[in-house]
Amino acid sequence: MKFPSTHKKLTASLVLLGVLTLTACGQGNQQATDTPANQTTTTTNTPAATPAANTTTTTAGVPPTGNDCPADAPIKGVDTTKRGKIYHNTTYPDYKQVKPTICFKDVASAEKAGYKLPQAK
């Protein structure tokens, strides 16, 4: 069976990509083999940054003071089971009744932490 030249180029490219991938995978173990015999190397596998179960403690927000937010962080973040992470700014109609889980200095900080504006009822 005769293949067009584009098929041959594609096959060659895939083979080269595979070789490069396998070569790169072997680079991670090189440090252990390059150490002198009188030194020991301890390798620890630390997982990549994974989100914590309670992400409110790992965000840029501050804890509320009682049922309100401090003056320098007026945006109220609330973790809900039904609507997820939402925030309320000072113009929200029921702002004073909202009990925050975390407080933010501005809307951008709240959104960066994964909070969003609540949907209209």
Q: Can you say whether residue 57 is alpha, beta or left, with left for phi > 0 and alpha for psi between -120 and 50 degrees?
A: alpha
pLDDT at 118: 87
- pTM passes above 0.75: no
pLDDT tens, residue by residue, 35-76: 455 555 555 555 554 444 444 444 589 999 888 999 999 999
pLDDT at 55: 44
> In the Cβ-directed half-sphere of 83, how many Cα atoms lie within 13 Å?
14
CA distances 73 to 18, 23, 67, 89, 108, Å, are 51, 50, 13, 10, 12
pLDDT at 74: 95
